[in-house]
Structure formats: C-alpha cells, structure tokens
Amino acid sequence: MKRVISLPASAFIFFLGITFSSSVSAQTSKKDKRLVQDCVEAKEDFIDTDGLMKNLFSSAYGYVIFPNVGKGGIGIGGAAGNGVVYQRGAIIGKAKLTQISIGFQFGGQAYREVIFFESKDDLDRFKENKIEFSAQASAVAATEGASANVKYREGVMIFTQQKGGLMYEASIGGQKFNYSQF
C-alpha cells in the first residue's frame, strides 16, 4: 500500500526546510559580515601603525587579511585564523590559515597577518591553494616605517601585528592556506 503525505504535512516539511536553511544562511552571513568588519578594522590598524602601508594596500594586485590568528603551544604548537581575500581592493573570497610547529615553545598569542600579492599569477597561486610558507618565510612586524624598504619575495610580502599574549618560541613550522569564494 502506498503512503501519501497529505498536503498540510508536506507544506509543513517544506516550510520547516525553508526556515532551517534561512536560519543557517543568516548565521553564516552574520559570521561573514563580522569577519569582513574585523578585516576593515585590521587594515585600519595596519595603516595607523605604519602610514606607508596605505600605498601597499592600494598598489598590490591582491591581499588577504587575517584579523584574528590564535597561536599556542607546549612543544607542539599550532595556529589558525580566517581571513578575507581582496583583488584590487574588492572582496573576492575568504581564506583559512593553519599552522603547525615543532620545537621549544610555550604560551599563546593572538596576532593579525596581511599577505600582499604582487601580480595576478601570485594571487591565482594562492586561490589554487598552491602557496605554503615554510619556516624560512619571513614576516615583517608591522611597526612605524617597517614597510619602507620591504620588497616582494616570490610575489608575496607578509606583515604581522601582535594583538596580545606571550609566547616563547624556538620552533620550525609552516603556514598553509585554503581559499574559498564567499
């Protein structure tokens, strides 16, 4: 015997599905909006710290801002953060940063990171998840005038800005990124 779902039951299931998906979509949208706002504030802080960075933001082909990266470890450590990817100043996607490190380390800290891309090819490599930074990659601490003499290295330039915490570290590790569209 076939079961037939009545019209009121199927309508209820339909509206329940719409309500649930709208709720999830609204939460994701709210989370993404907060991430974008955090990136706007981080960009302003980078520029306030070093006014010359304003030129980098306007002249770079693209950049990604990670406004809140958390890092911690005892022997083995890790870091993670989410960011927004820009091309010529317009938002094109988001990215996830992960890092694992091994060596002497103890504590935790929070920092911001911005990565500038010199050309379309450099940004495309990032979007294809083909950029990883090894322990040898050097990030410049964002301080007044720090960006004056920094040059692109293999098409990228990295700046960090500590937000808080304290971490003792003599370790090796690398950063990996995962790009996705909004």
- Mention every residue, 6+ apart, whose C-beta is less than 8 A from residue 121: 155
Q: What is the pLDDT of residue 137?
A: 57
pTM to 2 decimals?
0.79
Tell me the C-alpha distance between 65 and 164, whole Å.
Answer: 17
* 126-161: pLDDT as tens digits: 999 888 876 445 677 777 877 777 889 889 999 999
Average pLDDT, the chain: 81
Burial category of 70 from C-beta neighbours within 10 Å (exposed 0-12, middle 13-18, buried 19 and up): middle
Q: What is the DSSP letter of 61?
A: S
Amino acid at 82: N
* 80, 122 contact by CB (below 8 A): no
Q: What is the DSSP letter of 125?
A: H
Q: How far is CA 59 from CA 65, 120, 149, in A?
A: 15, 13, 15
Tell me the C-alpha distance between 130 and 179, whole Å.
Answer: 10
* 20-67: pLDDT as tens digits: 443 334 446 899 999 999 999 999 999 999 999 999 999 999 999 999
